[in-house]
Amino acid sequence: MTIKSSRYTISLIIVLSLIWIGNSGFYNAMLLSFGAVSVLFVVFVAHRLNIVDEESQPLQISRRIFAYWMWLLKEIIQSNIQVIKRIWSGPKSISPVVMQLKMSQQTDMGKTIYGNSVTLTPGTVTLDIEDDVMTVYALTYDSIQYLQGGEMDRRVKRLED
């Protein structure tokens, strides 16, 4: 096991342990020992399957992901407000559009984060991702123009670097 591989293994152990503790809500010795055995078993199986790597444990994004989540939360709130305004304004304020957008992400993880971020933002849905092109449905043309501006694309691209 290399140093890089052990870094991902330690990260996997920490994440799985936190998930176990967070979901169980019990902190007695017996349940904690069951959790430790379960975590070690999953890590063992993951190593046997050779899936403990930078894609399963993207440590490079961990420093920047919280800032991105805060920015995305702000975008989700703003989009909610815009969608509500459009609904109150009536059907003439809605102009649905489907468009293909170029993506600058190089990794599958980056493309997935970008596609999911678009879908999480009210009024837009990622329909398909093929190579470096994403097909997006938007409730209004303004939403497509915002995505064409590239702010979300740039922020997700920074997560990959």
- Residues 41-45: what's their mean pLDDT? 91
Q: Which DSSP letter does residue 131 get?
A: T
Give, in degrees to the nearest 5, the angle at Cα 156 between 151 and 161. 125
Residue 147's H or E segment, with its range, is helix 141-149
- Tell me which of 42 and 56 has the higher pLDDT: 42
- Residues 81-108: what's their mean pLDDT? 92
Which pLDDT value is given to residue 59? 58
- Residues 123-137: what's their mean pLDDT? 95
Which pLDDT value is given to residue 63? 75
Range from 43-52, 112-121, 152-161 that averages highest in pLDDT = 112-121
Maximum alpha-carbon separation in the chain = 62
- Tell me which of 13 and 59 has the higher pLDDT: 13
Compute φ and ψ for 102, nearest 5 degrees: -80, 140
CA dist 19 → 14, 16, 38, 111, 147 (Å):
9, 5, 12, 25, 34
CA distance 37 to 20: 11
Mean pLDDT of the chain: 87
Q: 56 pLDDT band (50/70/90 cuts)?
A: low
Which pLDDT value is given to residue 16? 86
Q: What is the pLDDT of residues 64-89, one digit of tens each?
A: 888 999 999 999 999 999 999 999 99
CA distance 121 to 115: 10
- Residues 5-10: what's their mean pLDDT? 76
